[in-house]
Structure formats: structure tokens, C-alpha cells
Amino acid sequence: MKAWLQILRLPAVFTAMADIFAGFILSHRSLQPVNQFLLLLGSSSCLYLAGMVLNDYFDRDLDALERPERPIPSGRISANIALCAGFFLLIAGTGLAFLAGPTSAIVAGILAFFVVSYDALTKGSWLGPINMGLCRGLNLLLGASAGNAFIEIFAQPQLMAALAMGTYIAGVTLFARDEAHGVPGRLSTSTKISLIGGMLGVAAGLGLLCAMFASTPNAAGNPQTAWFVTLLIGFSAIRRMLISIRTPSPQIIQSTVKLLLFSYVICSGVVVHWSTNNPWLSFGTVALLIPAMLLGRLIRLT
């Protein structure tokens, strides 16, 4: 059981759920119809977990050299079973989206394609962060897809939110590129470029969120409050990223990535509050941090 929890990286799935909360509430201003919301929550979770399993499958040879304790190289889970589980989760995720509606099924299918393309093709290249950002943006649009025609999911403000959150995650992905490598206190040129580029990506994503708060006057919440909380998140995130650049080590970079992912959930809560001015919905979104943090004590998030 522990091997499966490790290969699924279960704590991180709650960050994907935050996308569905944000996207669904941006387009519906509530969690109604709740059956569609729950179907999309399950769809997103399955697709995200599929990506985690397939990530380990395609990285199995590298992990055998660098992280032999991982479930596949250690022999606790066979590569073939992991591959089957990954594609089963992709099918399950797309199927749950189909039950939510045809538009949701289309978005889930596109998202599944980019999940596989990241794990199998682009992860080790400079396209990898862009690919991962697309996955996150599409995941938020999956939440916005319920009951809408395909073209309607690209309306404002959910399109701007998807762009902002996707840019943020592209920055996190670039920043985390070499999180398991390196000598403490020393940076290669490529690693330094990745860390600085990742920091700029995170800052750009938060900047796009602030731009969304300013450019959509029909939102129920106060944009000043949303700006203030987003700037606090940005200050904390950039400060930690600068520390990682000044005193780099795998442990420091990994802890910073963990903070960035938890901050992502808070950003989703800010989006929800700005959209609805409903504290219960925003607190419910941020509450996804509780299981993520508790499980994160036992299982690596990244």
C-alpha cells in the first residue's frame, strides 16, 4: 500500500482539486449542480494521479540510478502494472468527465493527451514547463466546462485564470527541474538559469492573477483584498526562491517547491473569494491544504 501511495504522490492531488474548485466556481459562482462538480473533481484527480504513475514509469531507468528506493526500481511495483494503472486512471478520468457532459469529455481528452506528452516526451526538455503549464490551465478549464459549450469555457474570467495559474505552474516546474540533483552550495549554469527562470514564471503568474482582478469588474469580491493576499503570497514565494538560489541544495529546493505548491492552493482560494465573496467557498478551497499537508508528512509531494 505504501508503495502505491508513493508512486501516486497522493498529497499533490489536492492541488489539482483546487483547479476544479476555481474553474467551476468562476463559471457557476457556486458548487451547483453538485453532481457535475463531483464528477469533475473525480475526473481531475484520476488524470492527475495517472500523470504521477506514468511519470515514474517513464523515469524508471533514471530512477534506478538516482533514486533506487522509488517503487518501480525497488521492485515493489512492476513497470507493467504501473503502466496499466496509469492508463486505467486516464480512461477513468475521461469517463467521469463524459458523465459530466460532452464538453467536459473533450477537455479531459485534451488534458489526458498533454499529461502523457509531458511524461513521455517533453519532461526533460525546455518544452516540459510549458507542457505542464498547459496541463494546469486545462485542468482549471475542465472545472469550468460543466454544462457549457466548448467555446464558452474560453470566456473571461476563467480563461485569464487558466493562463495565470498555468504560468505559475510552468514557473514551478522550471524551478524544480533539478531539484534532485546538484551539490549543496554550488550551481551549474543551467541550474541557475532554471531557478531564475522559474522564479520569473511564478512572479508572472501572480502578476496575471492581479491583472485579472483588475480587469473583471463584475466579480463579487473586492479586488483590493485579492491583490493584497496575492502580493503576500508572492512576497513569501519569491523570498524562498531567492534563498534557494543563494544557498542551493536538493533539500532546500524541494522544500521551496512544496511551499509553492501549497501557495497554489491558497491562490485558488483567493480566486474563489474574489469571484463570489463567499468565505465558505474560499475556505473550502483552501482547506484542501489540510489533507495535503498531513499526507505530505508521510509521502513526498514532489
Task: Of 45-49, 143-147, 221-225, give the lowest mean pLDDT range.
Answer: 221-225
Compute how many other C-beta atoms are within 10 angstroms of the C-beta atom of residue 46: 24
Helix axes 223-246, 250-276, angle to 10 degrees: 170
Is residue 218 pLDDT above 80, yes or no?
Answer: no
Percent of the chain surpassing pLDDT 70: 94
Domains and CATH numbers, the chain: 1-301 (1.10.357.140)
Angle of CA points 106, 111, 113, to nearest 5°: 100
Provide the pLDDT for residue 183: 46
Is residue 185 pLDDT above 70, yes or no?
Answer: no
Residue 258's identity, in one-letter code, is K
- The residues near 268 (Cβ < 8 Å, ≥ 6 apart) are 18, 19, 21, 22, 165, 285, 286
Is residue 170 pLDDT above 60, yes or no?
Answer: yes
Mean pLDDT, residues 255-275 taken together: 96
Residue 30 DSSP class: S
Q: Are 290 and 265 in contact (CB under 8 A)?
A: no
Q: Which three cell numbers stand for residue 181?
A: 540533483
pLDDT band at 284 (very low <50, low <70, confident <90, very high): very high
pLDDT band at 180 (very low <50, low <70, confident <90, very high): low
Does the N-terminal peptide bond of residue 248 adopt cis geometry, omega within 30 degrees of 0?
A: no
pTM: 0.94
Q: How far is residue 228's CA from residue 87's CA, in Å, rounded to a whole number?
A: 42
pLDDT in tens, 107-142: 999 999 999 999 999 998 989 999 999 999 999 999
Task: Of 165-179, 207-221, 271-285, give the lowest mean pLDDT range.
Answer: 207-221
Q: How far is residue 193's CA from residue 175's CA, in Å, rounded to a whole number?
A: 9
Is residue 274 pLDDT above 90, yes or no?
Answer: yes
